[in-house]
Structure 1
């Protein structure tokens, strides 16, 4: 069978990761990396990833017409995902779109409807959805190893410096030129934590009954850099997520699965799983581009179909519609380092993030002095 032709929209930032993954599959003759598109001239580093003869365009329609791809990877800024993905779907491409796929439920319905009408598939770039931890966790719930599922917590604490917020025009913004961006801590850097926690509940394709959001910032930015949220689903199952980009001590993001008889903890980035405190060996995660290629060829189920991000999109919409973050008082905030390496530090925030996930409580419910 002729390998499918793949194009990538975006060449900088995380798009480079997609370029490298696509190039690796190209070199193994599993795909043909046919072209890339970016509104800016690709960097020398990005060009160096591309096979000889790869088409490079600044216009999406021109690339689609010239390359006639089977699969399009959309790795552009989040607020452009819908427009680019719809263009690719209308051209008959199967699509792998980065997270967050879209920023509200209307856009979700539009994207899903377009894919259905075109008879093509849409995969979302939540790499954790391809982990072998998921069937292992489902088995632990099903066979009673942790008892009945009561809820899933998610936690993560990272350091982000001034350079992070200066890397592009939309970093740390809620809106840009009147268009929603929603670049908050839980909707972009820790989007994987929220979406993964929701997926574990088995209700990722349903809408939550209620969503509570607490947004804060230590930096004087438009969006939040510290946040907590609760999603309540039918049957009383809850997801509580807490995160910060102003860590005093970094916490590798994880989800903690609470059961009536025990708990499991999964560090989804490093693919490490513990069930009732005991490590569980896992195989390598499924690569989402390869998974999409296999799906197109063999009609196998997708690891991260758009449908499994519906509840997550409802959460993103709730953050978008929130009045906006509250400032954390200066008494609880410090800075470290200088210049573009400067970072903000919220006192004891790493501890609060982990406690929120472990106790299934928001910052305000923990009695954190700056939270309300």
Structure 2
């Protein structure tokens, strides 16, 4: 028994984890890695695995059941469409698209082809995330005052120099929207929306975005975004890639009867550890039995894509004043530390407030809520 025939597109960096995961499923007879596509080529793969420079060549040469796409953001839609039109189901890394227009385009392809498109928000398959979402829905935390997503991460120059698209809002005239909110800490925003039961396109009423940067990049690395959902819940995202220390991101539910903290990378609610399902395994189960629901179908990322669209159309991130930034390291290890950013993130989270509303020293402007059409 060899299981589903799987191809992986983009096998370096995070893509390597997908190769390992297919190998794990192959040992259980659930999947077989038949081909990969990457312009950089491939090393250390079994001789049975065919290697191609692009997905079009791969699909022309071999039959596959599932295509895993782990490529630059701006390539997601054309590659996913190519795979689905060839009859394959898709596991697509996050963020699925760089704009609402692309999201609508890809949604139309899903509807037309009838193929499955699972999006790589792994935290959505965490028992911890789903348990807390159930607690919120059942009123166990009382009336929800709001939800906050907090990220205090470290990214060095190496991160922004790993690829041409890294840290870019646009590249060669194409939207990329690679910023703290929309890519490295995208899981935090997506999990917060899931906890509120507001994952769909129509579940978001308005979005306010304040985007800043300490790094010499186009995109944001220190930002607050406030989402107001259709049910009236404020969701405050406060994140930075310029912290003193790299800490696990968390999503906090503020209720009248209690406060719950989800540490989604470790599958924790408070100190209680939960398990996590595998998204590819779930996609294979759905293929075998369509009554098995996907954890993260494309439609369930519509609310998050509203956030991407708000960031995409927001004014370019403002540079944080040099006197508010301390630099450490040299060369590829060089990184900025925004002074006291951890304190300002905590205050924003507690107050469900934008940086400008609490007087963070780098703020000089405020956006206004924009009603979502």
The number of aligned residues is 362
Q: 2-side partners of 1:58 and 1:176: how far apart?
A: 21
Q: CA deviation at 1:370?
A: 1.2
Q: CA deviation at 1:146?
A: 1.0
Q: Structure 1 stretches of 5 or more lacking a match?
A: none
The residue number in structure 2 matching 1:241 is: 237
The residue number in structure 2 matching 1:24 is: 24
> Over the residues paired in the alignment, what is the CA RMSD in angstroms?
1.4
SS at match of 1:95: strand
SS at match of 1:250: coil
Q: Map residues 108-257 of structure 1 onto 2, 5 A cutoff.
A: 108-207=103-202, 208-257=204-253
The residue number in structure 1 matching 2:371 is: none
- CA displacement, residues 181-218 of structure 1 (integer Å, 9 cap, x when unaligned): 11111111101111111111101013311110000011
Q: 2-side partners of 1:295 and 1:316: how far apart?
A: 28
Q: 2-side partners of 1:183 and 1:100: how far apart?
A: 9
- Which among 295, 305, 324 is matched to residue 332 of structure 1? 324
Do structure 1's residue 34 and structure 2's residue 29 form an aligned pair?
A: no
Do structure 1's residue 63 and structure 2's residue 63 form an aligned pair?
A: no
Q: Provide the TM-score with structure 2 as the length reference.
A: 0.94
Q: Structure 2 vs 1, CA of residues 19 and 146 (structure 1 numbering), >3 Å: closer, same or farther?
A: same
Structure 2 contact 129–195 (Cα < 8 Å) conserved: yes
- CA displacement, residues 93-147 of structure 1 (integer Å, 9 cap, x when unaligned): 1110000000111211111111121111110000001011133213322444311
Structure 2 contact 167–179 (Cα < 8 Å) conserved: yes
The residue number in structure 2 matching 1:289 is: 280
Q: Structure 2 stretches of 5 or more lacking a match?
A: 365-373
SS at match of 1:209: strand
Q: 1-side partners of 2:278 and 2:180: how far apart?
A: 25
SS at match of 1:235: coil
Q: Provide the TM-score with structure 1 as the length reference.
A: 0.94
Structure 2 contact 41–51 (Cα < 8 Å) conserved: no
- Which among 316, 323, 348 is matched to residue 315 of structure 2? 323
SS at match of 1:247: coil
Q: CA deviation at 1:288?
A: 0.4
Q: CA deviation at 1:317?
A: 1.0
Q: 2-side partners of 1:341 and 1:59: how far apart?
A: 32
Runs of at least 4 residues off by over 6 Å: none
